[in-house]
Amino acid sequence: MAKQLTADDARQSLAAHVEAKGVEIFCKYGPVLDWAGLQRLLSDEVYVRYPCEVVFDAGPLEPGEFAVPLQKGERPEEGFTMFVHPIFMTQLDLVPALVLYQLVALNYGVFASAHEAETFGAAALGITRDEYYDRLCELSDQLGGGLEAAPVAAASGCGGGCHCSG
């Protein structure tokens, strides 16, 4: 008799999958993912499930949120706009870390959690989850720091407004 899969099995499988995809991104686009590399990544259907463009506009962002992907039309296949806080417009080298966090929500929707977003982003950048989390907190501090956690788009967890003391 086959073992029945549990929700925990599914979470572990997703975590392993996003980590593997992150490592592949690091190998293909690393060791430093810059703005130009991010643009190539966003066009790579192997790693980005739906078309996605980055727009610097805080309009759709919640307080303390640094980025959020929003669906352009009725169907995800119509693409997404990744809204990034305009404070980062002059810091393009920092944008990939912000976008990587939200790509998990774009690719996996409600199945993605903060844990998967951190695992994916860290692997794609070739750093530990703790280092990646610390980097996100530092970037969030530019938005005022110490804010209440904002949700990951389509999932629960840190949207950049993590509980960091500034």
| Each residue's pLDDT tens digit, 120-135 | 999 999 999 999 999 9
Q: Omega into 31 within 30° of 0, i.e. cis?
A: yes
Position 10 scores a pLDDT of: 82
pTM of the model: 0.84
| Each residue's pLDDT tens digit, 89-114 | 999 999 999 999 999 999 998 888 99
The CA–CA distances, whole Å, from 60 to 19, 70, 71, 106, 138 equal 28, 9, 12, 16, 22
Contact 101, 4 (CB under 8 A): no
| Each residue's pLDDT tens digit, 12-43 | 889 999 999 999 999 999 899 999 999 999 99
Average pLDDT over residues 38-53: 97
Give the contacts of 115 (CB within 8 A, at least 6 positions apart).
15, 157
Residue 22 CB neighbours (<10 A): 24
1: pLDDT confidence band, cut at 50, 70 and 90? low
Residue in the structure block whose two tokens are 């904002």: 150
